[in-house]
Amino acid sequence: MSAVTDPWEALARAAASDPPLRRLFEVEPDRVRRLTFEACGLAMDLAKQPWSAASFARAVDLVRACGLEAAREALFAGEAVNTSEGRAVLHMALRDPGARDWRAGGQAVARSVRSELDRMLHFAGTVRNEGAIRAVVHIGIGGSDLGPRLVWEALAPAVPEIELRFAANVDPSEITAALAGLDPARTLVIVVSKTFTTQETLFNARAARAWLASAPGAKTRLAAVTAAPGAAAEFGVDADRIFPFADWVGGRFSLWSAVGLSCAIGLGPETFAGLLAGAATMDSHFLSAPPEESLPVVLALAHVLNRDILGRPARAVVPYARRLRLLPAFLQQLEMESNGKRVGRDGRPVARPTAGVVFGEPGTNGQHAFFQALHQGTDVIPLDILAVRQAVEGDPAAHRALLANAIAQAEALMAGRTEAEALAAAGGDPVLAAQKAFPGDRPSGFLLMERLDPPTLGALLALFEHKVFVEGVLWGLNSFDQWGVELGKVLAARILPELEGGAPAAHDASTAALVARLRGE
């Protein structure tokens, strides 16, 4: 057996002999102490995850056997860890360019990163201070949309000085809604696209450009963020409003670059700088902490244990904070696009399941939607709960009720309700008791943020980024390409001319029938 296979099997054997969660709390009195991890304003309780002290130790052995520490060093050293595209992956440099001699493929990048960051923050400050712009429309999709949109929702003041709106979907209703009610003379449109060829973004950008033209000086209210500045210039963006970033900045890791320009304008340069600083603290923690104490590592191990060893293909993510309601969608892209792959770095099929399905809604909304299935459904679906200790705004009593619900759900999933307890709750009716019984032994993790401020939010997002990297190392994947996104785009480009009246192309019978129906044939 290979060195990688042995630790996987050792973990599987250890997990197979673990008792139910209720029993683990009885036989491991130090369990909460051992399985609570703290760093960067985050406290993470993994005591309700299905591992004993022995299986946790085997999980840490697995990380070391898979070469995580060497892979982590290669990542931070700027080696070409994106092997299929021959690129470094160095979004960490964007967060603290003065921290070290950052190099991408051997080339020093810290100075250029610092220069572009200063330029972007200066522009953001100027827009805010001049007062002419009252709204910003951010146009992008995927990694060019989800991160900034999440940060804005999380940190925006109740009554912002500058309103931020977002348009991602090619559905024309989205850009129409984003522009509705705004004054084109007082609106800045920022087009965000790494290649400046993304179909959805360009459709929306053209619509916004035409809308801006209804007021004088339209070009001064159009900006672009891209790794292809020449294409942005051809689109009509002035050079002083083009904010480039390097090709080693992956889309779903790009929030920290000029992709965050809209947030820097809407929230203020100081707030954006605080976000970067918080993410940098998590980078330092990930780089220096031993695996058994590293938040990204242990969180990844909990997810891998459930996914690969215990065969649980889905995971719910429920933030008990309305301001973090977009976190499940952000994690869907981060995890499923990064690691939703069936072929490893070596081009061979992977040996075990990779990224599972991520879904979620904010608590307490989710409790009145899918929590029934979490508690009593036939599938065991692990749950990640996120909560914030300090209320951002509003009634403190309501916030305490929110936290009580978060804690109670984790307890109920783990402890369940026995048949005897259910019989008492059902007044002795055995049929009703069967329906009121809860199996329990359903795992959850609880991540508590001390406060929802820029540094803690930055640390939280960097935590999940590094967790995804750890999982990719364990599965032998390149977490930084996304070839699965391409095929549908290629076929859409072929079908669009047909829908516009061009000659029909060859398709399968179902596709051909749909095209014909839409052509009115």
Residues annotated catalytic, as ranges: 337, 368, 489
What is the Cα–Cα distance from 93 to 250, expressed in whole angstroms? 13
Separation between Cα atoms, residue 410 and residue 350, nearest integer Å: 33
Residue 384, classed as helix, strand or coil, is strand
| Cα dihedral sign, 172-177-178-180 | positive
Which residue, chain included where needed, has tokens 């980024």? 465
Cβ–Cβ < 8 Å for 170, 200? yes
Tell me the C-alpha distance between 149 and 91, whole Å. 18
C-alpha distances out from residue 310 to 13, 217, 381, 512, Å: 11, 60, 11, 42
The owner of tokens 């050792």 is: 10
Q: At what angle do helices 199-212 and 172-179 cross, to 10 degrees?
A: 40
Q: Tokens for 49, please give them.
A: 């995850």
**Spatial contact of 194 and 254, defined as CB atoms under 8 Å apart:** yes
**For the chain, how many residues are written?**
521
Distances (CA, A) of 159 to 52, 95, 155, 437: 48, 28, 11, 46
For 286-412, list the strands marked E by DSSP.
314-320, 357-359, 383-388
Which of 45, 69, 44, 58 has its CA nearest to residue 16?
Answer: 58
- CA torsion sign for 369, 373, 379, 385 is positive
Q: What DSSP state is assigned to residue 36? A: E
Beta-sheet strands, E only, within 396-489: 444-449
Question: Which among 276, 256, 400, 294 has a CA at the least distance from the CA of 72?
Answer: 294
Place of tokens 């109920």: 412
In the chain, helix, strand, coil percent, each to 5? 55, 10, 35
